[in-house]
Amino acid sequence: MTSGKINVTVENIFPLIKKFLYSDHEIFLRELVSNATDATLKLKHLCSIGETNVEFGNPKIEVRIDKENKKLHIIDQGLGMTADEVEKYINQVAFSGAEEFLEKYKDSAKDSGIIGHFGLGFYSAFMVADKVEIITKSYKDEPAVHWTCDGSPEFTLEKADKTDRGTEIILNIAEDSLEFLEEYKINELLTKYNKFMPVPIKFGTKTEGEGDDKVEVDNIINNPNPAWTKQPSELTDEDYKKFYHELYPMQFEEPLFNIHLNVDYPFNLTGILYFPKLSADLQLQKDKIQLYQNQVFVTDNVEGIVPEFLTMLKGVIDSPDIPLNVSRSYLQADGNVKKISNYITRKVADKLKSLFNENREDFEQKWNDIKMVLEYGMLSEPKFYEKAGSFVLYPTTDDKFYTLEELKEALKDKQTDKDGKLVVLYTSNKEAQHSYIEQAKAKGYEVVLLDSPIVSHLIQKLEMDNENLTFARVDADFIDNLIKKDDNTISKLSEEEQTKLKETLENIVPKQTYTIQTEALDSNAAPFMITQPEFMRRMKEMQAAGGGN
Ligand code: ADP
Ligand code: MG
């Protein structure tokens, strides 16, 4: 047996651990299960590159409560540690073995999924335990060891008789942390942080089957292959919906559509975003986008990472390239994070565009549920605004849906003001303005329904960016003052052509008897008009009757 002093820079780190991470005590389990996962994935990697001949098998991680002895066990079948490695990786606090491993196997281990540090790592165990033990046996042919530390910088290390490969961490739960011996609590934490981790995690057993076929099976709490880790081509619409409910078990509404994110350069990011039904969202606002790193849950506060207008969406984002444990303002200044945010914006815009192009009718039907997010995006993200023109819709009170360009085209000949600007008549309240809407419709005008709370800002922006466009709330004044092109009179001929035409015509018809009009005609009508003034007509009639003298 050996004993010694843990090599720490601060004389006694444990009171500090407790104090500074008080609010985050529960993350100890995430850290320990992450280490167990890493140990398993490291072994898998060593097997796959032929560094060892040991049988990898189907390793799992087990979390077990021993309430009687006030102990919590985390057991893995990973690569284990030799005595030297315990000395090196455990006793040298703040020495991240994951970093060293990745450094050593830099090129081959890139895609191994190893998690590494979130922060405190292994020592976060002391937030809830007053004594921590490690019993571990390396995959190398060396004796097992038992390390014990009671929270002071002193530790002991002795031989152990463990025969199977892997590591068992035993937490002797402190009096003030007894809740971590409760099944419901551990279940809650495993479900929160570890639900999609890549190695199966067993927590107790459950019965399956009916009657005589009843069997006790491992209760595996995680899905090691969540949808977002797969290729979009492997997944059906059904798979995406299924995953939505896996992510939010309390959500019964179906999502409207999903956006699969998948990029590995210049940063690494996968994920699936869902557009929820607006109505459902109001009830379950707490279903938020979840941020993961290598399938470990980190947070559901994605502010600063996802553009603000998209925080109303649901789903997951998984990226090892988002710095953790840094302030939000740091996050916003980080170049990588900015790129990630822009990528997400672009992906969402592209998806909306393709949905619109592929099935416009369906898109129109979903419009009411998605318009808030999109209109907010147009106002807050210039990059989104640039793309929005091709799919943002302006529905009329008659349920026609125009894009902005289509709307301009529809108004061109019938709804302009005296300056020639196109006038978009709109209403924010169909019922309250019913009679005006009817009046406008009777005159053949289009009335657009704009009823989301940020509409006045949107209108301002659209007017600013479209010089020939103005918005007017539908009312009697506006209806009466609009100019229809049918009343307006513009010839297709130039002034010069009109003069020539007039001269030619005057040579044919006597201008004393007829009026020749070439300048004030509807553009769709004949290029000229010959009329006979009323008094001339009467005079001619009188002459024909022989009465004139
Ligand atoms: P990190 O995970 O960032 O490396 P930790 O403090 O969580 O830092 O762990 C320190 C090191 O201890 C790990 O890198 C690893 O070498 C070793 N270690 C911890 N837990 C285990 C385990 N279950 N099996 C094997 N090695 C482990
Ligand atoms: Mg760790």
Among candidate residues 454, 356, 353, 460, the one with its CA nearest the CA of residue 401: 356
Ligand 1 centroid to residue 418 C-alpha, Å: 76
Strands 447-449, 422-427: pairing is parallel
Helix (H) or strand (E) holding 472, with range, is strand 469-473
Question: What order of strands is seen across the sheet that includes strand 422-427?
Answer: 447-449, 422-427, 469-473
Calpha distance 226→483 (Å, rounded): 59
Could you give the angle at the alpha carbon of 441 between the alpha carbons of 436 and 445, nearest 5°? 105
Angstrom distance (rounded) from CA 42 to CA 113:
9
What is the 149 CA–ligand 1 centroid distance (Å)? 16
Closest C-alpha residue for ligand 1 atom 3: 117
Q: Which two tokens stand for residue 454?
A: 């940020």
Bond into 266 cis (ω within 30): yes
Residue 511 pLDDT: 66
Ligand nearest to the backbone CA of 94:
1
How far, in whole angstroms, is CA 540 from its chain's centroid?
81
The pTM assigned to this predicted structure is 0.79
Choose which residue among 63, 89, 92, 99 to substitute to test ligand 1 binding: the one with the highest number of ligand atoms within 8 A of its C-beta.
89
In DSSP notation, 187-211 reads HHHHHHHSTT-SS-EEEEEEEESSG
Return the amino acid letter for 275.
F
Q: How far apart are CA 33 and CA 229, in angstroms?
A: 19
Q: What is the CB-side half-sphere exposure of residue 444 using CA atoms within 13 A?
A: 12
Q: Are strands 422-427 and 71-75 parallel, antiparallel or unpaired?
A: unpaired
> Ligand 1 centroid vs 218 CA: distance in angstroms?
26
DSSP 416-463: B-TTS-EEEEEES-TTTTHHHHHHHHHTT--EEE--STTHHHHHHHHH
Q: How many CB atoms lie within 10 A of CB 382?
A: 9
For ligand 1, atom 21, the nearest C-alpha belongs to 35
Cβ pair 25, 128 in contact under 8 A: yes
- pLDDT tens string, the chain, 549 residues long: the values are 667 665 554 445 565 555 555 557 888 999 999 999 999 999 999 999 999 999 999 999 999 999 999 999 999 999 999 999 998 888 875 445 556 655 665 666 556 666 655 556 788 888 899 999 999 999 999 999 999 998 777 789 999 999 999 999 999 999 999 999 999 999 999 999 999 999 999 999 999 988 888 999 999 999 999 999 999 999 999 999 999 999 999 888 899 999 999 998 888 999 999 999 875 445 556 789 999 999 999 888 888 889 999 988 999 999 988 876 656 677 777 788 889 999 999 999 999 999 999 999 999 999 999 998 999 999 999 999 999 999 999 999 999 999 999 999 998 888 888 888 899 999 998 888 888 898 888 888 899 999 988 889 999 999 999 999 999 998 877 777 776 655 444 556 677 777 787 788 777 777 666 766 665 444 445 666 666 655 555 556 666 665 444
Pairwise CA distance, residues 516 & 501, whole Å: 10
Separation of CA 117 and ligand 2 centre (Å) = 5
List pocket residues of ligand 1, CB cut-off 6 Å. Answer: 31, 35-36, 38-39, 76, 78-81, 89-90, 96-98, 116-117, 121-122, 167
CA separation for the pair 258, 240 (Å, rounded):
7
**Distances from the Cα of 308 to the Cαs of 326, 347, 374, 385, in angstroms?**
19, 15, 11, 14
DSSP designation for 260: E
Instruction: Map residue 549 onto helix, strand or coil.
Output: coil
Among 405, 401, 403, smallest CA distance to 361 is for 401
Helix then strand then coil, in percent of the chain rounded to 5, is 40, 20, 40
At residue 135's C-alpha, the angle toward residues 221 and 145, to 5°, is 155
Nearest CA to ligand 1 atom 2: 116
